[in-house]
A = this chain, B = another copy of it.
Amino acid sequence: MPIPTNYETPVRTSAKDRALSQLQKWIIDGTLQPDEKLNDAELAAALGVSRTPVREALQLLEVQGLVQMYPGKDTRVTTIDKEMIGKLYATLGALHALAAETAAQLIEPGQIEQLRELNAAFARAIKAKDIYQALEYDEEFHNLIVELSDNPYTVSFCSSLQMHIRRFKFVFLKQPLGQTMAAAEEHEQIIDALEKRDAQAASRLIKQNLSRPLEEYNKLP
């Protein structure tokens, strides 16, 4: 009988990484609220590690813009400003538009097929009114285009912006913005543009598609 290869914990996770992901989660989902003071000794005790990995994680979170360290004073979760959401989407739009332009020149038939499958799954989730699943597929769709553009800087920046956008959604709106079938149709147009290698159209359509959630947001009371 063949012994199954042990796929348990393929990556040895360090205490710093565990602290980092846990703190990220807590800040994004609002467990750690904006402007909350972070005491590294407390966090270390809560996470069952020493202060060193916690401090290291906090410094990375500062670079990511989730916490702000006031040297010699204290460390706090960054506050969020309602008007930032517009700036987040504007920046993400510019980067995704660039990614679409580049992807239009690099994309291969198999990847077009992948996009169509993702969008089909997205449409099914909308019809089934499974909002969270729909949001997942929507993100995957856009992320795939970004990855296809084969630009590590864009990938990194977009991932950071997505994280901040997610925090906004959690903290301001307790429930996510609904996705509509119109978005799925726009996705289809985007795929067509990529297939025709029409970089300009792809860029324009992506910007339009990304502006939707922001418009939804601005409609709120």
Residues of A within 8 A of B (CB): 12, 14, 52, 55-56, 59-60, 63-65, 71-72, 87-88, 90-91, 93-95, 97-98, 102, 150-154, 156-157, 160-161, 164
Contacts and interface: CB of A to CB of B under 8 A. Distances in A.
A64 B156 CA distance: 10
Nearest to A94: B98
Contact of A90 (B65, B90, B102): B102
Q: Which 8 A-B pairs have the closest CB atoms?
A: A94-B98, A87-B151, A91-B153, A94-B94, A63-B63, A157-B157, A91-B154, A56-B59
A71 B14 contact: yes
A65 B55 CA distance: 20
Nearest to A81: B152
A14 B73 CA distance: 13
Nearest to A71: B14
Contacts of A160: 153
Given A71-B14, A72-B12, A157-B157, A90 B151 contact: yes
A88 B153 CA distance: 7
A94 B95 CA distance: 7
Nearest to A72: B12
Contacts of A95: 91, 94-95
Contacts of A63: 60, 63-64
